[in-house]
Amino acid sequence: MSEERMNEERMTGDRMLGDGIARQELNLMFIIDNSGSMAGEKLGAVNNAIRDVMSIMPEVQEDTSDAEIRISALQFSDSAKWVYSEPKSVSDFKWKDLSPEGGTNLSAAYSELGKWLSKKSNGGQMPDIGGVAPILILMTDGLPTSPDWETRLNELKKKGWFRVALKYALAVGINSDEAMDVLNKFTGNPETVLKVYTAEALRKAIQVIAVTASKVKSNSSSKGTGAGGAVVNNNEVAVAEVAGKLEEVDDIEW
């Protein structure tokens, strides 16, 4: 007998009274620069990394009944576009390789992200009830070609969902201070801006950040002396765990 069939026969009546617990949504978002300069191994590493992440995510999801992980991806070049029109569950999110094209319109990406980071009842994609602070991972290899990116970022910062999010930025082969400044402004925390120098380091960084942060934010116990309470800032715990795991990876620099 198939597992599904067997499950159907179990507690038939009971399942008519609802078949699962209400979970809080945890949104994981990839914001990917697919401009022409990302062509070759950089974008190849991104495509590979997200596939790796998706092969590990079912285990992360299966370990917790508290959070339901939702994944979205925004690609930006001359314009910005969501890979799916809504965040997808771990089982429904299928990765399609991105191809390089055009410039680096970060302004368009920030505008799209801003629209996404509103409650569904306000036209966005965030849950109306019970959502935890999202995880945003931005990856880019150069300066934005859109001059008004900072105005758009300031608009984005007005969004509560953006303010509470755990924000990472991966600087792919970037050396200029000016370009680093753009990313520091996005995360608001230099600790979560990582310089990656090789495709392998990029792949590893994406994987570790996405998986570790999702794990910590969906499923972890608080530790401590108890003084001051047991509420912990999960973003800080995740940052510490990610840092620990990336410590030994070559070609990554904080």
Partner 1 sequence: MLLNKNDKIDLGGGDSIVVQKLLGEGGQGEVYLVTRNGQPFALKVYKDFESEDFRYNLKNNIDRGVPSEDFLWPKQLLDFTDGHIGYLMDLRPKNYVSFVSYLTGKTPFRSRAVLLHWCIRLCAAFKKLHESGYSYQDLNDGSFFLDPDTGDLLICDNDNVTADKKNLGILGKMRYMAPEIVRGEQLPDIHSDRFSLAVILFMALCLGNPYEGERLKQYDVIDEKAEYDLYGGNPVFTFHKTDRSNRPIRGYHTSVIRRWPYLPLYIKEAFHRTFVDGLADRENERTTELEWLRLLSAYRDELMTCPSCGYEMIYGFEEKQKTAVCPACGKPAPAVAWLSVGKHRVTLEPGKRLYAPLLDKFSSQYNQEIGEVIQNKKNLALWGIRLNTPQDTAVRDTAGTVKIIPQGGVIPIVQNLSIKFNENTKGEIQK
DSSP 105-165: -HHHHHHHHHHHTSBGGGTSSB-SS-EEEEEEEEEESS--S-TTHHHHHHHHTT-HHHHHS
From 1, 5, 18, 158, residue interacting with partner 1 (rule: CB under 8 A): 18
Contact status: 2 vs partner 1 (CB under 8 A): no
How far apart CA 111 and CA 146 sit, in angstroms, is 12
State which residue, 150 or 241, has the beta carbon closest to partner 1: 241
| Window 166-195: residues binding partner 1 (CB under 8 A) | none
- φ, ψ (nearest 5 deg) of residue 226: 90, -20
222 binds partner 1 (CB under 8 A): yes
Q: Which is nearer to partner 1, 89 or 99 (CB)?
A: 89
Among 1, 2, 5, 62, binds partner 1 (CB under 8 A): 62
Minimum Å distance from CB 141 to partner 1?
A: 31
Strands 193-196 and 80-82 come out as unpaired
CA atoms within 13 A on the CB side of 211: 20
Contact between 64 and partner 1 by CB under 8 A: the answer reads yes
Query: Which residues form the interface with partner 1 (CB under 8 A)?
Result: 7, 10-24, 59, 62-66, 119, 128-133, 160-161, 164, 215-216, 219-234, 241
